[in-house]
């Protein structure tokens, strides 16, 4: 058998023997529906991103007030935790938690 030696030879043989496929209305209709659905999805994604950005801008004053409130609350919470962790029972509890975390980490990495 005489086999072609390059891709160009194969392409030439293929192009000589190609017969065009008849138009298939079902395939064309489905392809058009898929294109339309893809366009709708893209448009919806863009509108959702715009809506999210607008919502973020409109909600930013509320988010800032909430962040300030969290910051104010965290100071007193951290002060209470520090006071508790500085006591003997707190130190023992912290030591137990640290030991458990280290053991779990070692167990998972083996």
Contact 58, 64 (CB under 8 A): no
| Angle between helices 25-85 and 88-109 in degrees, nearest 10 | 150
> So what's the pLDDT on residue 76?
84
> So what's the pLDDT on residue 23?
80
Residue 45 pLDDT exceeds 70: yes
> So what's the pLDDT on residue 2?
57
Query: How far is C-alpha 75 from the geometric centre of its chain's CA atoms?
Result: 33
First to last CA, the chain: 59
Per-domain boundaries in the chain: 8-84
DSSP state of 86: T
The pLDDT mean for the chain works out to 89
């Amino acid at each position: 058998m005489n086999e072609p030696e390059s891709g160009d030879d194969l392409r030439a043989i293929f192009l000589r023997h190609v017969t065009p496929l008849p138009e298939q209305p079902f395939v064309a209709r489905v392809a058009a529906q898929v294109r339309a659905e893809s366009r709708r999805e893209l448009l919806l994604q863009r509108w959702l991103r715009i809506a999210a950005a607008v919502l973020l801008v409109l909600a930013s004053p509320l988010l800032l007030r909430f962040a300030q409130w969290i910051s104010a609350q965290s100071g007193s919470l951290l002060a209470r935790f520090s006071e508790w962790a500085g006591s003997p029972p707190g130190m023992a509890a912290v030591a137990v938690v640290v030991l458990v975390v280290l053991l779990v980490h070692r167990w998972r990495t083996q």
